[in-house]
Structure 1
Amino acid sequence: MKKKLSSRGGVWSLDGKRFISLEEFDRIADSGSDEIDQFIDLTKGQRGGARPGAGRKRKEAVRLEVRIRPDLREKLRRKAKQTGRTQVELVEAALEQL
């Protein structure tokens, strides 16, 4: 099978028989035509990389920034290293005890 993306700036059909320019691919995609199915394999996942389950996993978490004294930061780092846990895990465990 031929490459899907050519060095000339185009796309091969999934069966490898048809080559179109990127401009033509965009036009077909924008038109909403079913013709695009010849160039995109919809059986493969759209997220998570090329292999099933590959790539970064979504985290159900929110970002929180807290300023602490340098001595407490160093204490947190040491404790994390001693216990084999991350700093975030230690902070979360402490917050769950509130």
Structure 2
Amino acid sequence: MKLVNIDDVQYIKGAGVYTELYLNNGQKELHDKSLEKLSQLLPKSFERIHKSYLVKTIKIKEIIVKTGSQYAVELLSGEILPVGRTKYKALKAILF
């Protein structure tokens, strides 16, 4: 068991009944709670952007609009994560 400071988490990816915590230092840690459960427990600074991703909103650099109604976010770290079509409007309202 390892304790991870919530301030060290950039985003969280669902991995079945587990989740993967992606940290600011580039490391990845496995967590035993589902993405749904974590979304209920985490502070409002984390936003569900996709069925498989929770992101700390202050880590988002920009929203990318692709052709064919596809969306993504670029994080300050340069990583690109998908945004669900149903999540786009809410995310845009939060960021802008």
Taking structure 2 as the reference length, what is the TM-score of the superposition? 0.28
Which structure has more helix as a fraction of its residues? 1
Higher relative contact order (CA 8 A, sep 6+): 2
Q: Decide which structure has the larger Cα Rg and report it.
A: 1
Taking structure 1 as the reference length, what is the TM-score of the superposition? 0.27
